[in-house]
Amino acid sequence: MADNHYKLWLNYYPIENTIIKNSIVKHFNNIQVLNNDATIDIIKKELNIASAGFINRDVKFNTPNSETGLLIGTLDKLPNNIAQRLDGEFKSHEGFAIFQHNNTIVITALSTVGLLYGTYNLLENIGANYPLTGVKNFSEPLIQHRILNHWDNLNGTVERGYSGASIFNWHTLPDYIDQRYIDYARANASIGINGTVLTNVNSNATILTGTYLQKVKALANVFRPFGIKVYLSARFSAPIELGKLKTADPLNADVQQWWANKINEIYDSIPDFGGFVVKANSEGQPGPQDYNRTHADGANMLAKILLPKKGIVMWRAFVYSHEQNEDRHKQAYNEFTKLDGQFLPNVMVQVKNGAIDFMPREPFHPLFGAMPKTPLMLELQITQEYLGQATTLAYLAPMYKEVLDSDTYAEGKGSTIGKLLHNQKLNGIAGVANIGADINWTGHLFGQSNWFAFGKQSWNYNASPKEIADTWLKLTFKASDNFYQDISKIMLNSREAVVKYSNPLGLHHLMGTGHHYGPEPWANYLPREDWNPTYYHKADSFDIGFNRTKTGSNALSQYKPEVQQQWQNEDSIDLKYLLWFHHVNWNKKLNTGRTLWNELCYQYQSGCDDVKNMITTWQKYKNELDMPTFNHVNMLLNIQYKEAVWWRNSSTLYFQTFSKLPFPQFLEKSDKTLEYYQSLKFPYAPGHH
């Protein structure tokens, strides 16, 4: 039967392993649930769905006189002889424990939401064919706020969305509750996501009107039993647009009162409202600097009102200064470090993983480790804004891990971003969602793996990208062990392939301006210099790359000395960051044995070869998959290969106009597309995608 993959990783395929199947039958024949609320109702329903899939039978709840089964209950409800095993162990109400007591498997937690997470964990392990015998797992989230940021607009469109329209139909809310809202909450809860920002950071004040707040309330009611809070983006100028005030100055008493009234109105309808994300004084968005106030002034005005209600403010650090000549890499650091310690305790400064803008690879943002008195929130992309969008297979768990494992040296060696976040009293990770109204949710089927990985790595930043990929594959496809092994390998290499053919050796921001899709390294027509790719690669007849050392913009000085030591010398820097920090001669001999020009060409070609290998590997399993699934991925991989060649040919031919050097022999020249690009005169801008 064809699979449209609407069920995501919650397929609950039939269990074929006899030992595991018999164990499920034995334990699902008697499930005792000791609590009773709306979340418990979800747990019971999920167990029935899973049992029907795994073993084709209904579960039996509270069977009398049965010694073997599954016991689910909060710690305070368990018999004393069982509860004592975990006395004092839990530090989070979301954590859970799964263990075997005699012939019974126990799932326990401090809250019913913790029980829900534990239930999903048990079902996930069954789906991945792990035995129930001897099961033992104690798990608590290392990050408190694990939040999806939807860049969804009220008109149904999605900014940077590549999988259809928004799943939130504001026109039919609050009266029509689409099943998709429930399935969305279910999917998020299954991977530990506990918050969702419903609206675009480029915000619309209309969402704060009474009519729309009733729509938000309807969604909050759906999400609440799944442990998910709703958040909204707050437009800083809302007091002017909605309140008819003459100012939005955060220190103005009337403005403060307007926000107090509005926030009270929200909490009257949604008592567990999570708070606001704010994009201010960036890309034309209004903010406190419009009134000669600081980011701290703006954030604290909202935070002070939210604090007694346990709401938070996520104040984004993605800002551009007004100075055209400043390296954008330095701008957020320069604006925010001077405000360290000035934010109220329920404010998190939300920082992208890198200082430019969701590049396929970036060195970690220098703000991490530079604001010890201020909670920082990591912002990651799930949507593949500069990573080929929905035509590209790019598994992002290795990128998330690369960021989380980056050592800032803020408190000595081992001060990774993951540890710094965890050690904050208030902490969070936000992911810009790739979810849309396409039947498979993410456009590209493998985009689901990034949603899945974000949840897993936000819960536990030490989680292995390989283990996440292996689990996702087993939950998503019913296939052979060889399929799982081979496709796992191409997933783990896929993001690196995109880096090679689009941003090799630390080149960055070479994508099409505006649409952020496809190569346009020649573009220099936008009014802001730092919106143009030519600003970032700085190619000339001698060199290429952005000098961020002392002799250049000196952005490198924003990092700790130990990090500077790693990156300040072009002879010893990791090649993946070479052209990010250095302006390097075309003929420089690198440690690969190739010159810079030849290495650049090699990277572009290697990325194309990687995608070709992905196609070959996928096609081996044509007979194991239903044809719609096989064809969906196969066609997109072929598109990806064409686009990799497009990147390679247009980029190398453009950069050759500066280097004046011949192509190395290994660079494939047989493609007709190469002849096409040779016929062009640069600068040339292909049509937008």
Task: Answer yes or no: are the C-beta atoms of 353 and 364 closer than 8 Å.
Answer: yes
Q: How confident is the model at residue 148 (pLDDT cuts 50, 70, 90)?
A: very high
Report whether pLDDT(672) > 60. no
pLDDT of residue 550: 97
Predicted local distance difference test score (pLDDT) of residue 496: 98
Whether 233 has a pLDDT exceeding 50, the answer reads yes
C-alpha separations of 251 from 248, 257, 595 in Å: 9, 11, 57
| pLDDT digits 0-9 by tens, 125-143 | 999 999 888 889 999 999 9
3-state helix, strand, coil in the chain (%, to 5): 45, 10, 45
For the cut 90, the answer to whether the pLDDT of residue 529 exceeds it is no
Nearest-CA neighbor of 125 among 489, 474, 476? 474
- Which H helix or E strand runs over 155? none
The SS3 call for residue 352 is strand
Neighbours of 88 (CB within 10 A): 6
Mean pLDDT across 204-212: 98
Distance in angstroms (rounded) separating the CA atoms of residues 293 and 180? 42
Task: Give the mean pLDDT of 308-333.
Answer: 88
Report d(CA 117, CA 18) in Å as an integer. 26
Res 685: pLDDT:
38
Which is higher by pLDDT, 161 or 638?
A: 638
Show Cβ contacts of residue 675 under 8 Å, excluding neighbours closer than 6 positions. Answer: none
How far apart are the C-alpha atoms of 444 and 390, rounded to whole Å? 5
Q: What are phi and psi of 397, to 5 degrees?
A: -55, -40
User: Does the pLDDT value for residue 687 go beyond 70?
Assistant: no
Instruction: Kindly tell me if the per-residue pLDDT of 190 is higher than 90.
Output: yes
Report, as residue numbers or ranges, the catalytic residues: 283, 357, 385
Helix, strand or coil, per DSSP, at residue 523: coil
pLDDT of residue 68: 75
Tell me the pLDDT band of 689, cut-offs 50, 70 and 90: very low
- Sign of the CA dihedral 252, 254, 258, 263? positive
Q: Which of 57-61, 166-170, 455-459, 471-475 has the lowest mean pLDDT?
A: 57-61
Share of the chain above pLDDT 90, in %: 90
- Helix 253-269 vs helix 210-223: crossing angle, to nearest 10: 40
Separation CA 124–CA 267 (nearest Å): 35
Three-class secondary structure of residue 250 per DSSP: coil
How many CA atoms, within 13 angstroms, populate the side-chain half-sphere of residue 373?
A: 10
DSSP 3-state of 277: strand
pLDDT of residue 683: 43
Do residues 79 and 108 touch, judged by C-beta distance below 8 A? no
- Six-digit token pair at 537? 């690669």
Torsion of Cα atoms, 67 then 73 then 77 then 79, to 10°:
30
Residue found by looking up tokens 């799964």 in the block: 98
Q: What is the four-CA torsion angle of 72, 74, 77, 80, rounded to 10 degrees?
A: 90
| Bigger pLDDT: 161 vs 580 | 580
202-218: average pLDDT? 97
Distance between CA 399 and CA 568 in Å, rounded? 23
pLDDT (tens digit, 9 = 90+) per residue, 421-435? 999 999 999 999 999
First vs last C-alpha separation in the chain: 33
Tell me the mean pLDDT in the region 297-321.
95
CA distances for 502 relative to 354, 355, 381, 497, 643, angstroms:
17, 18, 17, 9, 10
Is 366:555 a contact under the CB 8 Å cutoff? yes
What pLDDT is recorded for position 488? 98
Distance CA 686, CA 222 (A): 44
Tokens of 9: 């990783």
Q: What is the pLDDT of residue 289?
A: 96
Query: What is the per-residue DSSP string for 300-322?
Result: HHHHHHHGGGT-EEEEE-----S
- For the four alpha carbons of 84, 88, 93 and 95, in that order, the dihedral sign comes to negative
**H or E element that contains 496:** helix 481-502
Query: Which DSSP category does 378 fall into?
Result: E
Cβ atoms within 10 A of the Cβ of 422, count? 16
Extract the tokens encoding 465.
């990208």
Question: Which one-letter amino acid corresponds to residue 612?
Answer: K
Structure tokens of 670?
């047989």
Taking each continuous run of H as one helix and of E as one strand, the counts in the chain are 21, 15
**Domains assigned to the chain:** 18-139 (3.30.379.10), 145-465 (3.20.20.80), 499-546+583-678 (3.90.1330.10)
Give pLDDT, residue 530: 86
pLDDT tops 80 at residue 153: yes
The answer to whether residue 295 scores a pLDDT higher than 70 is yes
